[in-house]
């Protein structure tokens, strides 16, 4: 028997699933409020999509994808992030032909081959939003505001918004040159990783945490100082909107994000209680992505939020999830005849919207009471030979211990009324 799950994956057990239900309910709710509609994409895509969309040189593509060949010889890759597949679906299904912008959200598993640790898994879940077809910084702000509004619903405080701009391909090129100019004279002081980064992707030098590199990047030129006119204006207006909404943020010159498609706005939302995995949410603008995938030039902006990390954050914060729905009534069935009657009663109770269950394993009444207690049942109705004969049964209120004598015919209606259920 195989008794272990693959590394870095998790079972979501009944004792946990109410948390997920609660969170996803809140997601659907807030997205409707902001005018976003849900999209679901396949668990795997053509490998090419991630290579082109996310970027050949990124860590995700270079070492973190789950890539396999199907029986037809096609190279496929499990969804490694949410934006490229959403962009692909947007293009493929002609959503650009409808009224713009297109505002989408998703809740999907993400797969990345990494060494697991607290807050990082090989399969995790992300809630993400994407807006296609609107370049105005007001949309960037809407996306950030949605994320904060959502997190605020759980009473979270201590969150930090970090903000930066990575410019457009044009101004980034000149910035790249300035960076190389800054780091090149002191290559020997850089860590081995960064020495190779200087040629491949100098921007990534900025988020290296090695001591030596850290000190060098303190004096490195800031991207913001290299922005071209339009990019600078975008950032200024973005900050204006954030200020108008009273959203507090820190400009962090070292945020560059690990995916190639970002342009202009990049941001992260940090919860410091999570150690190295403190980014609960990360996102930004990606005005070149759709074009990269073969579409007409189309601006886009969005974020991804790790739900496992969100749950860790909430637990760290002492958030109390609403409990699962409890049983309204447990039918204690004593004997086969009684069980037969209870099967019918159950159907009627449930038709009336009453959460009901009964005893299927033939235990004695005492055990059934104990069982009902642990299920959290509000009432227990005792149905045995005596009740079948008289047509009346005992209904016990498990909270107060008081009991009433109710006709079997009226049981369902009685429980429905006592529990205030609307019926179907």
Partner RNA sequence: GUGGGCGUAGCUCAGGUGGUUAGAGCGUCAGGUUGUGGCCCUGAAGGUCGCGGGUUCAAGUCCCGUCGCUCACCCCA
Among 61, 147, 208, 227, binds RNA (CB under 7 A): 208
C-beta pairs of 242-249 under 8 Å, 24+ apart in sequence: 242/141, 242/144, 242/163, 245/141, 245/145, 247/141, 247/144, 247/145, 247/148, 247/161, 248/161, 249/160, 249/161, 249/162, 249/163
> At its nearest, how many Å lie between RNA and the CB of residue 244?
25
Length of the chain measured in residues: 424
Nearer Cβ to RNA (72/402): 402
**Segment holding 397, helix H or strand E:** strand 392-397
Binding residues for RNA, total number by CB under 7 A? 67
Q: Which stretch binds RNA (CB under 7 A): 66-74, 234-242, 392-400, 413-421?
A: 392-400
Cis peptide before 101 (omega within 30 of 0): yes
Contact 88, 49 (CB under 8 A): yes
Contact 358, 415 (CB under 8 A): no
Q: Which stretch binds RNA (CB under 7 A): 95-103, 233-241, 289-297, 358-366?
A: 358-366
The answer to whether residue 84 forms part of the interface with RNA (CB under 7 A) is no
**Per the structure block, which two tokens stand in for 418?**
């006592």
The answer to whether residue 386 forms part of the interface with RNA (CB under 7 A) is yes
Nearer Cβ to RNA (275/423): 275
Q: Which stretch binds RNA (CB under 7 A): 98-106, 145-153, 172-180, 272-280?
A: 272-280
**Segment holding 107, helix H or strand E:** strand 102-111
> At its nearest, how many Å lie between RNA and the CB of residue 353?
22
Return the residues of window 118-147 that contact RNA according to CB under 7 A.
118-121, 124, 126
End-to-end CA distance of the chain: 43
The answer to whether residue 59 forms part of the interface with RNA (CB under 7 A) is yes
- Which residues on adjacent β-strands are paired with residue 276? none
The answer to whether residue 192 forms part of the interface with RNA (CB under 7 A) is no
Q: Is the dihedral of CA 202, 204, 206, 210 positive or negative?
A: negative
Nearer Cβ to RNA (74/214): 214
The answer to whether residue 198 forms part of the interface with RNA (CB under 7 A) is no
**Per the structure block, which two tokens stand in for 283?**
């996102």
Return the residues of window 292-321 that contact RNA according to CB under 7 A.
304-306, 308-309
> At its nearest, how many Å lie between RNA and the CB of residue 240?
25
- Phi, psi torsion values for 103, nearest 5 degrees: -110, 115
Instruction: Find where tokens 């409890």 sit.
Output: 326
The answer to whether residue 334 forms part of the interface with RNA (CB under 7 A) is yes
Q: Which stretch binds RNA (CB under 7 A): 173-181, 204-212, 218-226, 347-355?
A: 204-212
> At its nearest, how many Å lie between RNA and the CB of residue 424?
28
Cβ neighbours of 11 (radius 10 Å):
7
> At its nearest, how many Å lie between RNA and the CB of residue 48?
20
Nearer Cβ to RNA (230/258): 258
Nearer Cβ to RNA (133/306): 306
> At its nearest, how many Å lie between RNA and the CB of residue 272?
12
> At its nearest, how many Å lie between RNA and the CB of residue 171?
20
Report the alpha-carbon distance of residue 186 to residue 24 in Å, rounded: 49
The answer to whether residue 407 forms part of the interface with RNA (CB under 7 A) is no
Nearer Cβ to RNA (156/380): 380
Contact 214, 228 (CB under 8 A): no
**Segment holding 229, helix H or strand E:** helix 229-245
Per-residue b/e over 123-136, b at no fewer than 16 CB within 10 Å?
bbbbbbbbbbbbbe
The answer to whether residue 275 forms part of the interface with RNA (CB under 7 A) is yes
Site residues (CB under 7 A) for RNA? 4, 6-8, 59-60, 81, 110, 112, 114-121, 124, 126, 193, 204, 207-210, 257-259, 268, 275-282, 304-306, 308-309, 334, 363-367, 369-370, 372-374, 380, 382, 384-387, 393-394, 396, 398-401, 403
């Amino acid at each position: 028997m195989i008794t272990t799950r693959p590394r870095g994956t998790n079972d979501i057990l009944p004792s946990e699933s109410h948390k997920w239900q609660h969170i996803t309910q809140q997601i659907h709710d807030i997205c409707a409020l902001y005018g976003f509609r849900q999209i679901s994409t396949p668990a795997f895509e053509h490998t090419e999509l991630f290579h082109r969309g996310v970027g050949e040189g990124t860590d995700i593509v270079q070492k973190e994808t789950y890539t396999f060949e199907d029986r037809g010889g096609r190279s496929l890759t499990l969804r490694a992030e949410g934006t490229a597949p959403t962009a692909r679906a947007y293009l493929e299904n002609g959503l650009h032909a409808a009224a713009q912008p297109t505002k989408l959200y998703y809740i999907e598993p993400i797969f990345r081959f990494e060494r697991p640790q607290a807050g990082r898994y090989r399969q995790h879940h992300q809630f993400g939003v994407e807006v296609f077809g609107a370049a105005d910084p007001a949309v960037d702000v809407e996306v950030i505001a949605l994320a904060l509004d959502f997190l605020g619903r759980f009473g979270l405080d201590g969150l930090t918004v970090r903000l930066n701009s990575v410019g457009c391909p044009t101004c980034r090129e000149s910035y790249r040159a300035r960076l190389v100019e800054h780091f090149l004279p002191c290559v020997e002081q850089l860590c081995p990783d960064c020495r190779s980064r200087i040629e491949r992707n100098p921007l990534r030098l900025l988020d290296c945490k090695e001591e030596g590199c850290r000190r060098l990047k303190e004096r490195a030129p800031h991207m913001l100082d290299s922005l071209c006119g339009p990019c600078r204006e975008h950032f200024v207006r973005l900050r204006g909107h954030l200020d108008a909404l009273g959203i507090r943020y820190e400009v962090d010159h070292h945020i560059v994000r690990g995916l190639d498609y970002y342009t202009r706005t990049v941001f992260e939302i940090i919860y410091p209680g999570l150690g190295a995995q403190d980014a609960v949410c990360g996102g930004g603008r990606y005005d070149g992505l759709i074009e990269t995938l073969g579409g007409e030039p189309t601006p886009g902006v969005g974020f991804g939020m790790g739900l496992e990390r969100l749950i860790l954050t909430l637990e760290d914060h002492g958030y109390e999830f609403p409990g699962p729905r409890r049983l309204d009534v447990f039918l204690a069935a004593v004997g086969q005849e009684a069980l037969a009657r209870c099967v019918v009663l159950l159907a009627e109770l449930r038709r009336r919207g009453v959460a009901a269950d009964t005893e299927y394993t033939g235990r004695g009444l005492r055990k059934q009471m104990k069982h009902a207690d642990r299920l959290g049942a509000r009432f227990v109705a005792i149905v045995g030979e005596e009740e079948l004969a008289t047509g009346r049964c005992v209904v016990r209120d498990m909270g107060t211990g008081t009991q009433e004598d109710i006709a079997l015919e009226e049981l369902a209606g009685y429980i429905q009324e006592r529990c205030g259920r609307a019926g179907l």
